[in-house]
């Protein structure tokens, strides 16, 4: 909808003031009446955490043998889920950083929870390599530190690069999220009624008082963090793709991996943002702030990144023929028509065929259809990682060592458990932290602009003759 005064597209529904926006968003947190549905969601997430704890405890007691890992498929669910979760996280950074740099103001109302999604997804992702190392209590050996064994990490391995990429990503995401939250925490402090709430928000608001000098430094720091997070997010998934691409294995050893992994990450991440945004706006009546325009724009981003991913798939196929390498050719024939070929066709259906429906505007502005589409894409993106990891491994050079891969119940419980953890953290977030950045949405209102004072009508500005 166009704004009658400025002629620009409106991001926020009409008729809002600074106060109405602040009240609408802060009320969700400061209310004393927690919706029953929230407890239900938290319980659901808690159940998932219980499952995760069970699976991980059993894993620590028995070792990674309880998973379906074996020769020739030594990388299974752990790496698939790691890449899937971290990919989901990337849309949060894209929304908060890249769209900020491109001055896409519509992203202001969704960036806080997209960023929260990033952090929780990284928490889930980070768990998989840690529990996969076999002796998770020694996982700190991955970091370079002076030790009595006098050994140091091997800096030429992409797996070690991963340690630095993911730990940096987690740290910067948390810092970016927290810095962005300080002014809103100050608002919560000022609006809270009870002493305890005032104290708690006051503690985290670090005494923010909205001085314009502070705001200017804050804006600079936000822009710099965005400028730093942008190359970071690209490098994180690039490094993850190096885990595969640096190996000389048909199906992994390709130069298209870094860009196509990054595009795939953004693709699945936006799908996850939609999965979260549509129920939230419905449940908390935030249709004015997360409008159909947001869903429409996210649909366009998904369509674009989906096509980049499609290009990646096509290029992989093309290269398997063009390279004239027997092994490459076989790897792809096996991927498409081998015993696990069904997984490739699930991937093509979910990631390439069905998302083409998003060319239609009527589809993109329909929240229900987009909600379903977001699930389809996330299933497709999970299968993409499954296809890359499993179908490249289970039939290698020697037919005598061919095998198959079958995930066990512990694989499934761990995966479902991380979904529970994600849900649990997300429900805590929407209850205790303002999920839409109030200070940034205020800037979207037309009255935030500094205008010259209205000239009194009918009076000459300069008296003649003086």
Partner 1 sequence: MPIPEGTYGLLAEFDTAGELTRAAKASYDAGWRRLDCYTPYPCEEAAEAIGFHRNYVPVITLIGGLMGLTAMFLLETWINLLAYPLNIGGREYFSWPAFMVPAYEWTILFAGLSAAFGMLAMCGLPAPYHPLFNAPNFRTASTDKFFLCLEARDPQFDATVSRKFLEGFSPVSVVEVEY
The residues binding partner 1 (CB under 8 A) are 17-19, 22, 144, 150-158, 160-161, 164-165, 168, 171-172, 175-176, 178-179, 183, 186-187, 189-191, 202-203, 206-221, 224-225, 228-229, 231-232, 235, 239, 439-440, 442-443, 447-453
Q: Quick one: 170 or 310, whose CB is closer to partner 1?
A: 170
CA 113 to chain centroid, in Å, comes to: 10
As measured in angstroms, the least distance from the Cβ of 256 to partner 1 is 19
Task: Identify which of residues 309 and 433 has a Cβ nearer to partner 1 in the complex.
Answer: 433
* Under 8 Å between Cβ of 59 and 66: yes
Nearer to partner 1, 239 or 370 (CB): 239
Shortest Cβ distance from residue 393 to partner 1 (Å)? 22
- Can you tell me whether residue 411 is helix, strand or coil? helix
Q: Shortest Cβ distance from residue 285 to partner 1 (Å)?
A: 20
d(CA 394, CA 114): 36
Q: How far is the CB of 98 from partner 1 (least distance, A)?
A: 15
Q: What is the 3-state secondary structure (H, E, C) of 342-407?
A: HHHHHHHHHHHHHHHHHHCHHHHCCHHHHHHHHHHHHHHHHHHHHHHHHHHHCCCCCHHHCCCCCC
- The residue (of 51 and 229) whose beta carbon lies closer to partner 1 is 229
* Residue 238 C-beta: closest distance to partner 1, Å: 9
Task: Please state the separation of Cα 307 from the chain's center in Å.
Answer: 19
Peptide bond into 248 cis (omega under 30): no
Nearest to partner 1 of 377, 441 (CB atom): 441
Least Cβ distance, residue 196 to partner 1 (angstroms):
15
The whole-angstrom separation of Cα 392 and Cα 386 is: 9
- 161-168 long-range contacts (CB < 8 A, ≥24 apart) are 161/239, 161/242, 162/129, 162/239, 162/240, 162/243, 165/235, 165/236, 165/239, 165/240, 166/86, 166/122, 166/125, 166/126, 166/129, 166/236, 168/232, 168/236
User: What values do phi and psi take at 87, rounded to 5?
Assistant: -60, -40
Q: How far apart (Å, rounded) are the C-alpha atoms in residues 4 and 8?
A: 8
Q: Is the dihedral of CA 258, 176, 298, 432 positive or negative?
A: positive
Shorter beta-carbon distance to partner 1: residue 248 or 400: 248
* Residues contacting residue 131 through CB under 8 Å, at least 6 positions apart: 56, 59, 60, 78, 414
Q: How far is the CB of 186 from partner 1 (least distance, A)?
A: 5
Nearer to partner 1, 215 or 314 (CB): 215
**CB of residue 260 to partner 1, shortest distance in Å:** 19
Query: In the complex, what is the shortest distance from the CB of residue 266 to partner 1, in angstroms, rounded to a whole number?
Result: 18
Nearer to partner 1, 221 or 379 (CB): 221
State which residue, 34 or 211, has the beta carbon closest to partner 1: 211
CA distances (Å), 204 to each of 117, 184, 200, 332, 441, in order? 20, 10, 7, 53, 21
Min dist CB 455 to partner 1, Å, is: 13
Would you give the end-to-end CA distance of the chain in angstroms? 50
Q: Tell the smallest beta-carbon distance from residue 464 to partner 1 (Å).
A: 26
Minimum distance of partner 1 from residue 6's CB (angstroms): 16
Closest to partner 1 by CB, 219 vs 287, is 219
Instruction: Give the tokens for residue 142.
Output: 């991955």
Please identify, using beta-carbon distances, which residue of 1 and 206 lies nearer to partner 1: 206
Pick from 118, 91, 95: nearest CA to 106: 95
SS3 state at 2: strand
CA dihedral 345, 348, 349, 352 (to 10 degrees): -170
**Shorter beta-carbon distance to partner 1: residue 161 or 427:** 161
Query: 81 and 410 in contact (C-beta within 8 Å)?
Result: no
Collapsed DSSP state (helix, strand, coil) of residue 68 = coil
């Amino acid at each position: 909808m166009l704004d009658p005064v400025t002629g620009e597209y409106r991001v926020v529904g009409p008729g809002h003031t600074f106060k109405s926006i602040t009240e609408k968003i802060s009320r969700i947190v400061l209310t004393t009446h927690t919706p029953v549905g929230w407890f239900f969601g938290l319980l659901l997430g808690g159940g998932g955490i219980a499952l995760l704890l069970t699976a991980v405890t059993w894993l620590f007691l028995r070792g990674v043998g309880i998973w379906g890992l074996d020769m020739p498929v030594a990388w299974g669910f752990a790496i698939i889920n790691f890449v899937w979760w971290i990919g989901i996280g990337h849309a949060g950074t894209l929304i908060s950083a890249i769209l900020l740099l491109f001055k896409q103001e519509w992203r202001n109302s969704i960036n806080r929870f997209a960023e929260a999604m990033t952090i929780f997804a990284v928490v889930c992702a980070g768990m998989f390599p840690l529990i996969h190392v076999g002796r998770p209590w020694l996982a700190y050996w991955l970091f370079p530190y002076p030790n009595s064994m006098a050994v140091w990490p091997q800096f030429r391995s992409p797996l070690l690069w991963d340690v630095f990429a993911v730990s940096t990503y987690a740290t910067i995401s948390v810092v970016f999220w927290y810095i962005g939250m300080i002014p809103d925490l100050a608002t919560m402090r000022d609006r809270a009624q009870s002493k305890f709430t005032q104290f708690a928000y006051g503690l985290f608001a670090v005494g923010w008082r909205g001085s314009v000098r502070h705001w200017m430094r804050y804006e600079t720091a936000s822009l710099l963090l965005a400028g730093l997070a942008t190359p970071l997010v690209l490098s994180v998934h690039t490094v993850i793709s190096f885990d595969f691409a640096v190996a000389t294995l048909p199906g992994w050893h390709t130069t298209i991996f870094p860009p196509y992994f990054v595009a795939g990450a953004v693709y699945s991440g936006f799908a996850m943002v939609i999965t979260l945004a549509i129920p939230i706006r419905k449940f908390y009546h935030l249709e004015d702030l997360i409008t159909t325009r947001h869903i429409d724009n996210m649909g366009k981003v998904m369509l674009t990144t989906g096509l980049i991913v499609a290009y990646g798939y096509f290029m992989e196929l093309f290269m398997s023929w063009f390279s004239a390498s027997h092994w490459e050719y076989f790897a792809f024939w096996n991927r498409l028509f081998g015993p696990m070929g069904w997984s490739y066709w699930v991937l093509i259906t979910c990631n390439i065929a069905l998302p083409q429906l998003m060319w239609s505007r009527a589809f993109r502005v329909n929240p229900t259809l987009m909600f379903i589409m977001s699930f389809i894409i996330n299933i497709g993106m999970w299968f993409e990682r499954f296809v890359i990891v499993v179908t490249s491994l289970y039939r290698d050079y020697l037919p005598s060592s061919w095998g198959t891969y079958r995930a066990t119940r512990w694989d499934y419980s761990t995966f479902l458990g991380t979904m529970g953890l994600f849900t649990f953290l997300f429900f805590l977030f929407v209850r205790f932290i303002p999920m839409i950045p109030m200070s940034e949405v205020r800037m979207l209102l037309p009255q935030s602009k500094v205008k010259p004072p209205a000239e009194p009508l009918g009076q000459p500005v300069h008296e003649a003759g003086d």
